[in-house]
């Protein structure tokens, strides 16, 4: 069966510090991968998606970047965090149209 992992689960970072969130998927090959941000417990905003290694599409202009160094690894990064980057970050995977499966999420607080 497929599983998706995200770490860390919780992160508190000062403004201006770098960020690296990791997402890995097990039990499937060549998945589409997605990064979402959820603010205040409502509304999922798609940030990036990837249909293959090294292929990244950005949905909204922002302070973040994404990379996919391996088939089942998706990384969300920032060089300098802003207060507005705080939120709940969710990774998801899909191998067929119409279904996405989410990870447990990372709670990021920027102070």
Partner 1 sequence: GQQLNQSPQSMFIQEGEDVSMNCTSSSIFNTWLWYKQDPGEGPVLLIALYKAGELTSNGRLTAQFGITRKDSFLNISASIPSDVGIYFCAGQLRSGGSNYKLTFGKGTLLTVNP
Interface with partner 1 (CB under 8 A): 32, 34, 41-44, 46, 49, 51, 57, 90, 92, 94, 96-105, 107
Cα–Cα distance between 9 and 38 in angstroms, integer?
Answer: 14
Enter the DSSP assignment of 84. G
- Smaller CB distance to partner 1: residue 7 or 80? 7
- Smaller CB distance to partner 1: residue 75 or 91? 91
Give the shortest CB-61-to-partner 1 separation in angstroms.
13
Residues in Cβ contact with 74 at an 8 Å cutoff, skipping those fewer than 6 apart: 22, 23, 24, 33, 35, 50, 66, 67, 68, 91
Give the shortest CB-65-to-partner 1 separation in angstroms.
18
Give the shortest CB-55-to-partner 1 separation in angstroms.
10
The number of beta carbons lying within 10 Å of the beta carbon of residue 12 is: 10
């Amino acid at each position: 069966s497929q599983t998706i992992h995200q770490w860390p689960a919780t992160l508190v970072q000062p403004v201006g510090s770098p960020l690296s969130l990791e997402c890995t998927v097990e039990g499937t090959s060549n998945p589409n991968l997605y990064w979402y941000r959820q603010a205040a417990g409502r509304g999922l905003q798609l940030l990036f998606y990837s249909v293959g290694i090294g292929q990244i599409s950005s949905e909204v202009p922002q302070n973040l970047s994404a990379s996919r160094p391996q088939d089942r690894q998706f990384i969300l990064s920032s060089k300098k965090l802003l207060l507005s980057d705080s939120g709940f970050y969710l990774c998801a995977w899909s191998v067929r149209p119409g279904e996405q499966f989410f990870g447990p999420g990372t709670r990021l607080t920027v102070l």
